[in-house]
Amino acid sequence: MTGYYELKELETKAPKLFGIPTGTKLDEMFYRIEKEEDKYVKKPLGGIPHLSIINLTGIPDSGKSVLAEQFAINQVNSGYKVLFVTVENPAHFLYTALKQKSEALNANFERVENNIVVIDASENDELRENPKALMDTMAYAIKERKTTNTIIDSITGLYEHKEVMARQIVRQFFNFLKKFRQTGIFVSQKRSAQASETAEAAGGLAVAHIVDGTIVLDKKLIESRWDVSLYGLPIGSILRTIRIDGCRFCGHDSQTWVFEITEYGTINIIAPLSEYIKAKRG
Amino acid sequence: MEIIAKPKGGNVDKMAEKVFLECLNILGGLKKLVEFRNLTWLPSLAEASYVIVLRNEVFKTYAEIAKELGITEQTAKNIVNADETKVKRYIEGELEKPNEHVAGGIAKLAYNNLKKEERLDEDEVIIKSEEIEVLDIDWAVHVLAKIKGLDFPVNKEKLEERLKGMIIKGKNVENILNELEYPIKTPAELLHKIREKL
């Protein structure tokens, strides 16, 4: 193997740019630029970029896992196979969550059951503590079950007591998913000491700098008269926001959007924050 | 929903054993160590092999490695940071003993060899050559070696690509492949079908 390429040589190896649907408004928020006659126009990708590894980050209870699960259901319901590596939530709890969401999303649960392969690292120390063992197990699942999408919930759980190794561990999993041509979601937990709404807050500087893109989820408790006045929401309520922080594959909407987690446990992205506030304040 | 709850690889002991055996290989084999009365190197090589695998494959911290192997953190660091090129020149007689962890350097050389040749992950089936001959299955071993990593079910073109030029019991593999029905679902089915045509 040579260590360098002429740019032209990479043409056949370069992935095609198209979207892998999440089943949310996010699908319209990644776009590519196309030339139509004399003008350049934005064309929604229809999902997160194919073969990208996207970091979903946020504080606890901001909806990261909900979004990851919704993505998984949407993919299997469309006939694609998903490998779900659960590091935090034991597999039987994940099963219940997926079942409920499938019903809420009107997905065929039989198809969901048959097309999601789960690696339960939450209850096996070897899988959680030995990245090599986990990667070999993932390789087995990807090859045997022909999955095209992989979700790791959460990547932070694989180095939670040894942040010094975070970069190496994240890099290994990133390279692994690239090698096996997976579109990937890394769920990562944001450190509470760092400012919310920032991508680098997740797992130190490790995840955000390595992955192809980051989506930041956040929530704000309406707790003062100022908040009530600004957001037009009653005191004690919660305002949830989502923002694409960056993507090296393609263009994307950079606004902060308001979303809700419905009573059925699904993500519904409502409007850009500025428009939401304007509408709320009349 | 299929749930996989146990690892399917990444066995640290097996990987460390492979690195250790490769260390012996680099040093010219066990016999050479006996001849030069260097058997005292073996414990250090075994320890260094574990350190290198735990650090590079399992991403353990120095503190974790030290605790797991009952060595000091400094020893673990010395092994991981040993300059393998200097150690290589030392064992080839080009340099005086360097100020490096020699076993660490040898283990790193061994590990690099295995990684480069993708042998660290290989599942090895150990059957002695005499047994293979007696069983008359050497062709099967060669076929399996050549189709390693191939996705099944498989079609004729993919198999031709991998097996071209092989002669099985005097028959060209291309002729045998022409007689088979496709797709072939598993390696076992492939061997079975080839055997029927021999």
Q: B10 and A165: CB-CB below 8 Å?
A: no
Tokens of B172: 């060209």
What pLDDT is attached to residue A191? 63
Look at residues B101, B122, B120 and name the one whose alpha carbon lies nearest to residue B111. Answer: B120
Instruction: Judge contact between A149 and A183, C-beta under 8 A.
Output: yes
Q: Tens digits of per-residue pLDDT, A35-81?
A: 888 888 889 999 999 999 999 999 888 999 999 999 999 999 888 99
Using a CB-CB distance cutoff of 8 angstroms, which residues of chain A are in contact with residue B59? 131, 159, 162, 165, 168-169, 172
Among partner residues B9, B60, B61, which is closest to A136 by beta-carbon distance? B9
Amino acid letter for position B38: N
Per-residue pLDDT averaged across B32-49, rounded? 81
Which residues of B are less than 8 Å from A118 in CB distance?
1-4
Size of chain A, expressed as the number of residues it contains = 282
Cis check: omega of the bond before B153, within 30 degrees of 0: yes
DSSP A190: B
Q: Which of A118, A143, A165 sits opposite B1 (nearest CB)?
A: A118
Task: Give the ipTM.
Answer: 0.77
Contact assessment for residue A140 and residue A83, using Cβ atoms and an 8 Å cutoff: no
**Tell me, what DSSP letter sits at residue B164?**
T
Encode pLDDT of B6-18 as tens digits: 887 778 888 999 9
What the block records as the tokens of A21 is 């649907």
Note the pLDDT tens digit of each residue in A208-252.
Answer: 889 999 999 999 999 999 999 999 899 999 999 999 998 998 999
User: Is the dihedral angle over the CA atoms B27, B31, B36, B38 positive or is it negative?
Assistant: positive
To the nearest whole Å, the CA of A161 is away from the closest chain B CA by 10
Q: With beta carbons under 8 A apart, name residues in chain B contacting A113.
A: 1
Q: What integer is the mean pLDDT of B82-90?
A: 90
The answer to whether residue A118 scores a pLDDT higher than 80 is: yes
Instruction: Summarize the confidence of residues A120-139 as an average pLDDT.
Output: 90
A99, A110, A112, A132: best to mutate for the B interface, most B CBs within 10 A? A132
At A117 the pLDDT is 93
Please report the pLDDT score of residue A202 as a whole number.
46
The predicted-structure confidence for A7-28, as pLDDT tens digits, reads as follows 887 777 788 889 999 999 999 9
Helices A131-145 and A166-179: crossing angle in degrees, nearest 10, is: 20
Q: Is B37 exposed, middle or buried (0-12, 13-18, 19+ CB in 10 A)?
A: exposed
Better pLDDT: A11 or A196: A11
Question: Predicted confidence band at B132 (pLDDT cuts at 50, 70, 90)?
Answer: low
